[in-house]
Amino acid sequence: MAGEFLVTLGDLSQLAGVVKGRFVKGRGEPRIAMVGRSNVGKSSLINSLLGGRLAQVSNQPGKTRCIHFYHWKNIGKIVADLPGYGFARSSHDERERWEKFIRAYLEEDEGLELALVLLDARHGPTALDLEAIRFLSFTGIPVNFVFSKADTLKTQSERALRRREAGQALREAGYDPELAFWVSSKTRDGLKELERGLGGASAAPVGVKG
């Protein structure tokens, strides 16, 4: 298997014990954080890339409540599976607690190489996605985009339309749409390209805001 579970960060109180400067649980491999709306397919993508059923997947939004770290052996990096934002049934307080937790992790981890922002291929970035993207560009964390569930776009014309709309939205957010990957965890379309893109230290086509 190309992946191995490392550690779970349950809440803010555990942050200092797990993330120390450039190290997560004593390991120094660069981190890639999976960021995105709840149910967009972050955990599924990790399973498809790393092999097996490492991360819990559910059609019920809000499945991932903690930050789980996995060693992605193929490319020698650590992937952080983050709880998704914006699922309807969570209370205001709960949402605030999550946001604070995720933000604290993203700001604290000095070994964070890239935030991979997952966007649903059918919808493009929502208002909450744009807020998350703005936050990331503000912190200076490099960003790449992954359009997930590309298998749900059935026709050539639908794919072309969605790509045009998504490209426009990313341009408006200040990013180059050429840097986005289109993938399906279900059919595995685009996964090889994504792995290649994330593989090298300098190979990641980093979407630095221009």
Ligand X SMILES: Nc1nc2c(ncn2[C@@H]2O[C@H](COP(=O)(O)OP(=O)(O)OP(=O)(O)O)[C@@H](O)[C@H]2O)c(=O)[nH]1
Q: Where along the sequence are the contacts to ligand X (CB under 6 A)?
A: 36, 38-44, 57-59, 61-64, 83-84, 148-149, 151-152, 184-186
* Contact yes or no for 40/122 (Cβ under 8 A): no
What is the CB-side half-sphere exposure of residue 136 using CA atoms within 13 A?
A: 29
Q: Which is nearer to Mg ion, 53 or 154 (CB)?
A: 53
Q: How many residues bind Mg ion (CB under 5 A)?
A: 4
CB nearer Mg ion, residue 63 or residue 97: 63
Nearest approach, Cβ of residue 22 and ligand X (Å): 26
The residue sitting closest to ligand X, measured at its beta carbon, is: 84
Applying CB under 5 A, does 43 fall inside the site for Mg ion?
A: yes
Tokens coding 151: 């298998």
Smallest gap from residue 41 Cβ to ligand X (A): 3
The C-alpha atoms of residue 148 and residue 190 are separated, in whole angstroms, by: 10
**Which pair of tokens denotes residue 147?**
């359009």
List the x/- string, 1-40, binding to Mg ion by CB under 5 A.
----------------------------------------
**Measuring CA to CA, which residue among 35, 81, 43, 79 is closest to residue 60?**
43
C-beta atoms surrounding 11 within 10 Å = 14
Tokens found for residue 28 = 């120094």
CA 210 vs. chain centroid, Å, equals 21
From the list 39, 48, 64, 148, which residue makes contact with Mg ion (rule: CB under 5 A)?
64
Cβ of residue 72: shortest distance to ligand X, in angstroms? 16
